[in-house]
Amino acid sequence: MTTAEANDTIIRVRGLRTQFGSHVVHDGLDLDVRRGEILGVVGGSGTGKSVLLRAITGLDRPAAGRIEAFGTEVLDASAEERARLDDRWGVMFQDGALFSSLTVRENVEVPLRRIPDLSPELRRALAELKISLVGLPYRAGDAYPSELSGGMRKRAGLARALALDPEIVFLDEPTAGLDPIGASAFDALINTLSESLGLTVFLVTHDLDTLYATCDRVAVLAEKRVLVTGTLADMLEVDHPWVQEYFTGPRARLARAADRPNAETEAD
């Protein structure tokens, strides 16, 4: 890693070990996330993509290792330091993970309630701004999650993740379950928000189209660690059975050939 890349690293994971009982998910995992990038995290079933996301954000405590975010040791952080970290990132879980008893607007207002002395009127206005930012119609704010389509729930979950103007957003399978048109629209939204807001994006996905449409780099989880990181073009040169099958198979060739923002360079 160059000096510039090291200085631009906002999350650094070293020697991570996560396990549930006797089942070890990660062992000796290292990963860097750079400011301003869209990093795609991929891997086969059971490789712990979502577990890694939850460990970095402090939702699951690993058995061993170090996680540093914005210069703060996540695992040893005080309550005050953790609160500051929570304000600097947002998380969108699969299918949005919205509170079913709250409207979309009320869901987006939940993180905003942590801001001292924020009036109900301003909190409502900020929530409506985030709802608009992710491309939802104004009327969606009054709807309950059960009244929304899957794609709209995901956008509502993203609006909540953006409520506190985070520097990095963690997206867990954001296009899973969407039809191709809806998935493509969500990919475009990720690109637009990353560019316009200067966001760093940590993107857990299995969707090859999403990788080619959005990601600057890819981290491949295999053998209980990050096997390799690099550009999509780099992945074509990795001599590993799963990587070769995933990135050179028929679906990968279709994704590379598609007319998407990052596809032309990768397909050359």
Q: Could you tell me the sign of the dihedral formed by the alpha carbons of 93, 96, 97, 99, in that order?
A: positive
If asked whether residues 209 and 254 sit together in one domain, one would say yes
Residue 15's identity, in one-letter code, is G
Q: Is the pLDDT of residue 90 over 90?
A: yes
Q: Residue 21: which CATH number?
A: 3.40.50.300
If asked whether residues 154 and 181 sit together in one domain, one would say no
Residue 248: the pLDDT is 85
Residue 250: the pLDDT is 63
If asked whether residues 61 and 172 sit together in one domain, one would say yes
If asked whether residues 181 and 253 sit together in one domain, one would say yes
If asked whether residues 30 and 56 sit together in one domain, one would say yes
138 band by pLDDT with thresholds 50, 70 and 90: confident
Residue 125 per-residue DSSP state: H
19 assigned to some structural domain: yes
Give the helix/strand (H/E) hosting 67.
Answer: strand 64-69
If asked whether residues 121 and 204 sit together in one domain, one would say no
In the sheet where 38-43 sits, what is the strand order?
89-92, 168-172, 200-204, 38-43, 217-222, 225-230
The residue range of the domain holding 23 is 1-70+168-259
CA atoms of 105 and 45, how far apart (whole Å): 34
The two tokens of residue 208 are 């090859």
If asked whether residues 159 and 172 sit together in one domain, one would say no
The two tokens of residue 186 are 């969500």
23 assigned to some structural domain: yes
255 assigned to some structural domain: yes
If asked whether residues 192 and 248 sit together in one domain, one would say yes
Give the number of residues written for the chain.
268
Residue finishing a domain among 166, 186, 215: 166
Mean pLDDT of 120-147: 95
If asked whether residues 162 and 242 sit together in one domain, one would say no
If asked whether residues 63 and 176 sit together in one domain, one would say yes
Contact by Cβ (8 Å): 42, 49:
yes
If asked whether residues 232 and 185 sit together in one domain, one would say yes
Residue finishing a domain among 146, 166, 186: 166
Residue 2: the pLDDT is 53
pTM of the model: 0.90
- For 114, how many CA atoms within 13 A lie in the half-sphere containing its CB? 11
Question: How does pLDDT run across 56-80, given as a tens digit for each residue?
Answer: 999 999 999 999 999 999 999 999 9
Q: In the chain, helix, strand, coil percent, each to 5?
A: 45, 25, 30
3-state class (DSSP) for residue 260: coil
Q: Is the pLDDT of residue 3 over 60?
A: no
87 assigned to some structural domain: no
CA atoms of 260 and 258, how far apart (whole Å): 6
H-type helices in 162-240, by residue range?
180-197, 208-214, 232-235
Residue finishing a domain among 124, 150, 166: 166
Domain total in the chain: 2
Task: Look at phi and psi of residue 33 and say left if phi exceeds 0, alpha if psi is from -120 to 50, else beta.
Answer: beta
CA atoms of 9 and 71, how far apart (whole Å): 9
